[in-house]
Structure 1
Amino acid sequence: MIFNRGFMCKHCGPIKTAAKKAATKAMPARHVCTECGENVTPWERPVNERAGRCNNCANASFTSAYVKRQMLRCCKKCGEVINIDKNCEIVRKGDLKHAVK
C-alpha cells in the first residue's frame, strides 16, 4: 500500500487516514491514529521517493539509455541511469568507474 499523503504516527509510522477527536476543555480538536489512539501529524512523502521520479534530483523527465545491453532510463536533469525493474541506480553522469565504451 503506497500513498503520498496522510498522517504520521509515532508508533505505527505513516497511515493513510486518521480519526478526528472532538475538542474538550483540556484538549483542542485533533487527529488520532485508528490503530493505537496516539496523536498524529500531517505527513507527505518526499518527492524524490515517489514512483516515476528520479531518486537523485526528483525530476520526472527521462530518456532511454543503453548500458550493458539493457534498455534503462536516464534522467534528463542529472544524468543518473536507473534500472526500473530493480529500482536501483546504475551509473551517474561522469562516473569513470562505470563508463560505457
Structure 2
Amino acid sequence: MALGPFATQTVSAQPSGRVPARPFSVTEASITELRSALEQRRTTSREIVTQYLTRIATYEDKLHAAITVNPRALAIADSLDRERAAGRIRGPMHGIPITL
C-alpha cells in the first residue's frame, strides 16, 4: 500500500524555538497519557500525528493494517493545535488522532 507523501516526506514536528522538556513518544501511550501530554504542552497534535504517520510508514508493508491515511492529517493537527493555543478545546479527545 502506498502512503503517498508520508512514506518519504520529512516533516518538522517542532515549532520554531520550542524544545520540549523531554521527548514524548506515542509508542504504547494511552489516550489518558496523550491527553495529559497535550494539556501539559509536552507535545502537540502535530507531533503526535507525525509520530503515528512515521510508524505507519515503517510498519505498513508488514502489517497491512491501514487501508487509507487522511492526506490532510498534519493540516488538521495544526488547526487543532492553533485552537488549543487559543483556549478553544472541543472536548477530551481534542487533538488526539484516532484509527478505525
| TM-score in terms of structure 1 length | 0.22
Larger radius of gyration between Structure 1 and Structure 2: 1
Compare relative contact order (CA 8 Å, sep 6+) and give the higher one, 1 or 2: 2
More helix by share: 2
More strand by share: 1
